[in-house]
Amino acid sequence: MQLLSWMAFSRVEACYGADRRVGSLNCAQQFRAMALAQRTKRRNLRLLASALGAVPTGLYHAGFTSRIHVSTLAGASRNRSWRIHAALAQRLINRARALCAGEHFGLELDEAVHPLDSSTVDLCRSVFRWA
């Protein structure tokens, strides 16, 4: 989360009207929840909601104002444009390019970068060195 500029996040939110037509879960909270789901390998929204509810005191410190329900997560995912997350991903890719400009990975970042959703593909570092 530290690599993401929350000022840039706010600009992307404003550009796409991220919090229109979405209930109590704002865009930043949804992003944090989905990042937690990815990090902890939660396979569905029900598992994510139960993980978020497991430590209620930690929710406030993570940027959540109230308990997150499955229906809230589902509504936010259904009503919020995917373009918001694509714009955020592009900003993170640009940040990674700047941070790794002098590094050699066997792959030039100026070439096409194809993100993979790790929840659907299990990779082995011994077979795929770039993983």
Amino acid of residue 60: Y
Q: Which among 21, 113, 13, 4 has a CA at the least distance from the CA of 75?
A: 21
Alpha helices (runs of H) in 2-81, residue ranges in sequence order: 6-16, 27-39, 45-54, 56-61, 70-79
Contact 111, 45 (CB under 8 A): no
- Taking only the tens place, the pLDDT of each residue in 49-103 is 988 888 777 787 777 878 888 998 898 888 888 888 888 888 888 888 888 777 7
Mean per-residue pLDDT for 16-31? 79
Q: Please give the model's pTM, rounded to 2 decimal places.
A: 0.68
